[in-house]
Structure formats: structure tokens, C-alpha cells
Amino acid sequence: MNFVKSTLSVAVIAFSFFALSFSPSQAEVAEYAIDPDHSAVIFKVKHLAISTVTGRFDLFEGSYKFDTENIANSSVDTTIVASSINTNEKDRDDHLKSDDFLDVEKYPNITFKSKEIKKVDGSDFQIVGDLTIHGVTKEVILDAVYEGSAKDPRGNERTGFVANGKINRKDFGMTWNKALELGGVVVGEEVRITLEVQGIRNKS
């Protein structure tokens, strides 16, 4: 009888260890689809060196994996339709779509794929990844904040993030500019980026 009890105890301990080792919190990284209706891709560029033009891209899609236990297991992959650029001024948008800037006929998509995600402090983290614009790929760093999670009225689990970064458009081959009579240029070189992201967790 003691032998049977001992054997059962060992089996129970072994099973418990096995179950803990493969618990969802450790073995499963949640996957999310970016919800474009509740997300935004925004950019800001200096105009005439005295003001800032704010624009956005209206069409984009992507997904991300998010591990609350270990942020390093997370990742993100997005595609933006370059021709969906919108600064609320048609002539300017047409110029931005031309080969002076995005050249959307030749390079229809802007992509970003993470290579590393690092926890900074609390809800803050950094996303290091490859950004491809105008056929040129450069590594960029985005400073991001996890805004939390919630369930929508349909029972979908959602998470939210805000990420900020900046690039030099000339690094991506977009060098067009025009000098001003009193000094300075028409378009600034630095582009500030803000991403407002909300994702829906995949149920599968």
C-alpha cells in the first residue's frame, strides 16, 4: 500500500510539473490583428521652417504578438499603402506620391518588421525593426507604451499601444527640396512618426 501511495505521489508531482511547464502564460504568446478602425499612422514634417504639417496614412494592415510575461518574445509586422497618404491637401498629396518623394507607382508599400523588442521601465519598451520606404530599408527605433487591455462589447480581447519615433527622409532616398529666398527650405528633413495601435486578439 505504501508503495502504491508513493508511486501515485510521484506521478502527481510529475504531472503537476509538466502542466506548469506548459501553462498558457509561459508557452503561449497572444497574437493580435491590428484594427485599422481604431488605429492611426501619423507623421509630422516642418514646412517653411516655421510650421508643422501633420499627415496620416489611411490604409494599413498588420499583426503583432504580445507576451506580457516576457516582452522580448513579442513582435510586430505591418504594411502601409503608400498611396493612401493624406495631408488634407490634394496637390500636396499628389506631390508626395510622385517620384520626388514616395514614388508610389514604383514602391506601393511601406513596411515595418520588428527585429527586437526591449523592456525599458514599467509599461515602456522599445521596438527595433526594419522600416522600408521608397525601396530603402533602414533600422529604426520606436519608443512605445503599453496602454492596457480591455474587452469590447462583442467579447473580443483588445490591447492598445502608442509608439513614437523619427527618421530622416533623405536616408530613404527622398531628397527633393527647394530653397527659400530668405533662407531655409520648403520641407524639413526630419519626419516624426506616431503610431496609435489597437489590436484584436486572434481567437484561433
Q: What is the pTM (predicted TM-score) of this model? A: 0.84
What string of pLDDT tens digits covers the 204 residues of the chain? 443 444 334 433 333 333 333 333 344 789 999 999 999 999 999 999 899 999 999 999 999 999 988 999 999 999 999 999 999 999 999 999 999 999 999 999 999 999 999 999 888 999 999 999 999 999 999 999 999 999 999 999 999 999 999 999 999 999 999 998 777 899 999 999 999 999 999 986
DSSP letter, residue 182: T
Tell me how far CA of residue 148 lies from CA of 39, 138, 204, in angstroms: 15, 30, 22
Residue 111 lies in a domain: yes
Host domain of residue 73: 29-201
Q: Please report, as a single letter, which amino acid is at residue 196.
A: E
pLDDT at 180: 86
Residue 5 lies in a domain: no
Residue 34 lies in a domain: yes
pLDDT at 157: 96
Residue 16 lies in a domain: no
Residue 146 lies in a domain: yes
pLDDT at 181: 78
Distance of CA 39 to the CA centre of its chain: 10
Residue 1 lies in a domain: no
Tell me the pLDDT tens digit for each residue of 69-113.
Answer: 899 999 999 999 999 999 999 999 999 999 999 999 999 999 999
Spatial separation of the C-alpha atoms in residues 112 and 137, rounded to whole Å: 9
Spatial separation of the C-alpha atoms in residues 183 and 200, rounded to whole Å: 48
Residue 158 lies in a domain: yes
Q: How many domains is the chain partitioned into structurally?
A: 1
User: Which CATH number covers residue 91?
Assistant: 2.40.128.110
Residue 176 lies in a domain: yes
Torsion-angle region of residue 115: left (phi > 0), alpha (psi -120 to 50) or beta?
alpha
